[in-house]
A and B are shown apart, each in its own frame.
Chain A
Amino acid sequence: MTLGRALLQLLVFPGLLYAVPVAWLMLWIERKLTARLQGRIGPPFYQPFFDFVKLLAKRPLPRPPLQALAMSALPVLAVASTLGALALLPVFPHGGGFGGDLVLLVALLEVPPLCGVLAGFVSRSLYGELGATREAVLSIAYSLPFLAALVALAAAANSLSLSVISQQAMWQVRVPALIALALCLPVKLRVNPFSVANAEQEIYAGATTEFEGPRLALWELAHGLEWVALTGMWAVLAFPSADAPWPLRASLFVAISLLLVLAIATVAAATARLKLAQAARMYWLWGFAIGLIALVVAMVSP
């Protein structure tokens, strides 16, 4: 991967220029679809953009310097690492990526939840700590099927390069791995039925309780970018990349991401919130089972 290509993927597609508007689009789709499924009208199209601008224009209250530094750095780190993860996605596998970039992708995707947990603790609020603890417990629980699925795909393709995996992994492994990954998406995105980490009725706003103004704007942006990155990752692993022309690949990428958003939003509208123990147990049992199936199939396949 050349520097120019890297910058292109980081800044244009599927990086910053593509990701930020699509993040807002996905946030809007989720809210609008949830509203329609509940018989309501829902917010207008430009809502997440105006939320972002309004938050930037708030005048936050001063905080002690070290706490202010930490509270500003964490959302910036979350946004930056999600953008980096997006840049690594092999939408156009030829010439992009490098050997071992799967490891970097996993590392980058682990940073936003970690920043969320740290944010809850650094804000020194009881509700922040409660939300952060729930987030931490859930992230340990879903890491099992998440990593198992990715390891299975890597083992099946015999490589740690995302481009190779997305082209070569065979369907017996791909299907259980994709199911495991899809199972992990609602909890990483903090939607029903796994929205216990930011349960407003119980713990105020969870980990982001003490964040206000521009810092909160960055957290909302990080949340939107997580939608793009995670659905994009699933989309990229879901279609075998034969030699297709690049407009087709790009549009398939976008289309599958958006369809996944619709599916996740529908499931979120149809389910209630599970308790922390129930959610964690579900990942330790069912998530592990499906991840194990993917691993076993990967090991025994030629």
Chain B
Amino acid sequence: MGILDDLVRTARRRSPWLFHLNAGSCNGCDIELVTCLTPRYDVEQLGIRLEGSPRHADIIVVSGPVTRTTRVAVETVYAQVPDPKVVVALGSCPASCNVFAGSPTIEGPLDRIIPVDVYVPGCPPRPDAIMAGIADAIAILAGGGRT
């Protein structure tokens, strides 16, 4: 039904819940992500909540080049997030491994392991860049999301 679809789409746009996954990051991007929760940037004004469990989330934000020891975690967590879901690659590490490219302990850019929808460049990205990336992810989510 049209109106029900519209309601669901609006609800997905207004209530995106995040789960943050650190796949071997140096923590710079993680710090900037948490800064988005502080009073200056306050992502809750968009209805975003940082959730404790991947099963509660719609958007997975991954930071870090995927190290050998976190590869299984990334695959497991991606499988645990219920559909519809969106993956955001935070920083330049999940996009290209940055300075770590070619290292034997790095399992490569994130899109070798899970499909990525939005890339937020920066090292680390500014909080307003992260919010812009999350806004892109919300638009994908409200438009149907990646299944």
Does a CB–CB distance below 8 Å link A and B in the complex? yes
Cross-chain contact of A31 among B8, B44, B52, B53 (Cβ < 8 A): B44
Query: Are the C-beta atoms of A212 and B82 separated by less than 8 Å?
Result: yes
A201–B20 Cα distance when bound, in Å, is: 12
Quick one: given A47-B15, A51-B15, A205-B52, are A42 and B8 in contact (CB under 8 Å)? Answer: no
The interface on chain B, measured as residues whose beta carbon lies within 8 A of the other chain's beta carbons, has a size of 25
Quick one: given A39-B39, A46-B14, A61-B82, are A53 and B56 in contact (CB under 8 Å)? Answer: no
CB within 8 Å of B: which A123-150 residues: 127
A51–B51 Cα distance when bound, in Å, is: 13
A208 contacts across to B, CB distance below 8 A: 53, 56
Query: Are the C-beta atoms of B82 and A59 separated by less than 8 Å?
Result: yes
Of A43, A54, A57, most B-chain CB atoms within 10 Å: A54
Quick one: given A35-B42, A39-B39, A42-B44, are A53 and B82 in contact (CB under 8 Å)? Answer: no
B147 contacts across to A, CB distance below 8 A: 59
Q: Is chain A's interface secondary structure helix, strand, loop, or mixed overall?
A: loop
A50 contacts across to B, CB distance below 8 A: 10-11, 14-15, 47
B15 contacts across to A, CB distance below 8 A: 47, 50-51, 53-54
A10-33 vs B, CB cutoff 8 Å, 1 = contact: the mask equals 000000000000000000000100
A209 contacts across to B, CB distance below 8 A: 52-53, 55
Query: Are the C-beta atoms of B39 and A40 separated by less than 8 Å?
Result: yes
In chain B, what residue has the closest Cβ to A49? Answer: B11
A42–B43 Cα distance when bound, in Å, is: 8
Quick one: given A200-B52, A205-B51, A209-B55, are A53 and B44 in contact (CB under 8 Å)? Answer: no
Asked if B103 is at the interface of the complex by the 8 Å CB criterion, the answer is no
Asked if B58 is at the interface of the complex by the 8 Å CB criterion, the answer is yes
Cross-chain contact of A57 among B11, B39, B42, B56 (Cβ < 8 A): B11
Query: Are the C-beta atoms of A205 and B53 separated by less than 8 Å?
Result: yes
B83 contacts across to A, CB distance below 8 A: 58-59
Asked if A1 is at the interface of the complex by the 8 Å CB criterion, the answer is no
CB within 8 Å of B: which A187-214 residues: 198, 200-201, 203-206, 208-213
A200–B53 Cα distance when bound, in Å, is: 8
Asked if A4 is at the interface of the complex by the 8 Å CB criterion, the answer is no
B39 contacts across to A, CB distance below 8 A: 38-40
Query: Are the C-beta atoms of B47 and A212 separated by less than 8 Å?
Result: no
Query: Are the C-beta atoms of A43 and B44 separated by less than 8 Å?
Result: yes
In chain B, what residue has the closest Cβ to A200? Answer: B52
B134 to nearest A CB, angstroms?
15
Query: Are the C-beta atoms of A210 and B45 separated by less than 8 Å?
Result: no
B58 contacts across to A, CB distance below 8 A: 54, 58
A127–B53 Cα distance when bound, in Å, is: 10
B44 to nearest A CB, angstroms?
5
Query: Are the C-beta atoms of B52 and A204 separated by less than 8 Å?
Result: yes
In chain A, what residue has the closest Cβ to B51? Answer: A205
Chain A to chain B contacts (Cβ below 8 Å), 24 pairs: A38-B39, A39-B39, A40-B42, A41-B42, A43-B47, A44-B45, A47-B15, A51-B11, A51-B15, A51-B47, A53-B7, A53-B11, A53-B15, A54-B14, A57-B8, A58-B58, A58-B84, A59-B83, A61-B79, A61-B80, A200-B50, A204-B52, A205-B51, A205-B52
Q: Which residues of chain A have a CB within 8 Å of any CB of chain B?
A: 31, 35, 38-44, 46-47, 50-51, 53-54, 57-61, 127, 198, 200-201, 203-206, 208-213, 216
A-B pairs, top 10 by smallest CB distance, nearest first, are A200-B52, A53-B11, A205-B53, A205-B52, A212-B55, A39-B39, A54-B11, A50-B14, A41-B45, A204-B52
